[in-house]
A and B are shown apart, each in its own frame.
Chain A
Amino acid sequence: MEKRTKENSHTVIMIGAGPAALSAAVYTTREDIETLLLEKGVPGGLAAVTDWVDNYPGFPDGLAGLELAGNLQKQAERFGAVIDFGEVTALHDEGEWKHLETTLGDLYARVVLVATGSDYKKLGIPGEAEYYARGVHYCATCDGAFYRDKRLVVVGGGNSAVQEAMFLTRFASHIDLMVRSRMRASDVLQKELQKFVDKGKITVHLATTTDEIIGDKDGKVVQVKGTDTKTGNEVKIDTDGVFVFVGLKPNSEFAGGQLETDELGLIKTDENLMSSMNGVFVAGDIRSHATMQIASAVGEGATAALKSANTSEGHVDVMEEV
């Protein structure tokens, strides 16, 4: 373990650089509070890999997720936020200082903001790992372009699955949407989906599990096998690729049980958005009872930054005492 030094100590460290943390960083850095964001993937988080965002206030015509992510990053950096690329693997409470183990080494902060969001869940079925990135995908905006005029299967019945299936119709000739039980997407999205169903672009298979992804001798995905849970009959769908959107897994594992979570693994907070560890705040999708929207993540980021100011305020000088 590296000891705390002036170089590895920060006033605020934010874990993640998604919408929640970038918004929080605008508030802390604008108040001249030194802030480091650690990001293991892409700044902008899930917003950066979302094709189109229609419900972020202030943009009457909607905007590309990538553009929104880029703007949030630019604004935070304008005030002096620093984004480093690395993953936080453990968090320890050392009283006034929080100790973070990261892939960039040990770091210390007076205040920590956890804004780690969630990652896509896997199906855990045969063929899924074998054909990863060669026929099985989790990001439509990243990999969809490879399926121009091809048939696709999209697995899932929530908002993400429906949104991504509609996006993928730009490329694919036809999409089979496999929904394990019933549709859980919002009414608005279901209405939009119906337009694609009416045009024959998407076929919805309700109450159908996805059991296996099958490839040919050339290592190409050719079929998905499932089960119609009402009849028990096997369902076989020929396809060139599979996109999986079966929900999200909270990125709270790094905390190793140090922060109190709910039964879903989301981190619990008090009314000031502080976790069970003093000085560790939480914002965005990773927070228990979050509403999983960019606008709310951004709002929570601002709230957490303002509420945490009391903890970080007046401690900037302490950095010099190291």
Chain B
Amino acid sequence: MVKNITIFTTKTCAYCPMVKKYLASKGLSYDEVNLDEEPQRQQEALAISGALTVPVTVVTRQDDSQEVVVGYNLAKLAPAIA
């Protein structure tokens, strides 16, 4: 079971709305960190994902285990929210 989801995005990223739409289609809510508006959180996104790219989706489960999905990658995102 999913406890919460955070997505790191930017305003110009084409794949970010796709992740948001996908989560919404599954009835899941999420917190969004827009790195254009909060550039100070870029290091956090990098530390979590190991990549200088967005979207980065962090799925935290009830047992506090985390799954990090880089990009719009349904093969990883779908099991992460299952």
Contact = CB atoms under 8 A, between A and B. Distances in A.
Interface size class of B (residues with CB under 8 A): 20 to 34
* Residue among A51, A65, A143 with most chain B CB within 10 A: A143
A70 B21 CA distance: 12
Contacts of A43: 18
B52 A134 contact: yes
Interface in B33-63: 35-36, 39, 42, 46, 50-54
A285 B6 CA distance: 36
A135 B52 CA distance: 7
A42 interface: yes
B14 A145 contact: no
A172 B52 CA distance: 14
A241 B52 contact: yes
B44 to A, nearest CB: 12
Contacts of A146: 35, 42, 46, 52-53
B39 A145 contact: yes
Nearest to B70: A133
Nearest to B22: A85
A133 B15 contact: no
A51 B12 contact: yes
A135 B51 CA distance: 8
Nearest to B55: A142
A143 B14 contact: no
A84 to B, nearest CB: 11
A21 to B, nearest CB: 16
Q: How large is the interface on A (under 10, 10 to 19, 20 to 34, 35 or more residues)?
A: 20 to 34
B53 A48 contact: no
A69 interface: yes
Contacts of B74: 85
A70 B70 CA distance: 22
B52 A141 contact: no
B14 A133 contact: no
B7 to A, nearest CB: 14
Nearest to A146: B52
B24 interface: no
A17 to B, nearest CB: 12
A44 B17 CA distance: 12
A48 B15 CA distance: 9
A171 to B, nearest CB: 9
Nearest to B49: A133
A141 B51 contact: no
Contacts of A141: 10, 12-14
Interface of B: 10, 12-15, 17-18, 35-36, 39, 42, 46, 50-54, 70, 72, 74
The 9 closest A-B pairs by CB, nearest first: A141-B12, A48-B14, A146-B52, A133-B51, A145-B10, A42-B14, A143-B53, A49-B14, A133-B53
Interface of A: 42-44, 48-49, 51, 64-66, 69-70, 85, 133-135, 137, 141-148, 241
Given A48-B14, A66-B14, A146-B53, 14 more contacts: A42-B14, A66-B12, A70-B17, A133-B52, A133-B70, A134-B52, A143-B54, A145-B42, A145-B54, A146-B42, A146-B46, A146-B52, A147-B52, A148-B39
14 contacts: A65-B14, A66-B12, A70-B17, A133-B51, A134-B50, A135-B52, A137-B53, A142-B13, A142-B53, A143-B54, A144-B10, A145-B10, A145-B42, A241-B52
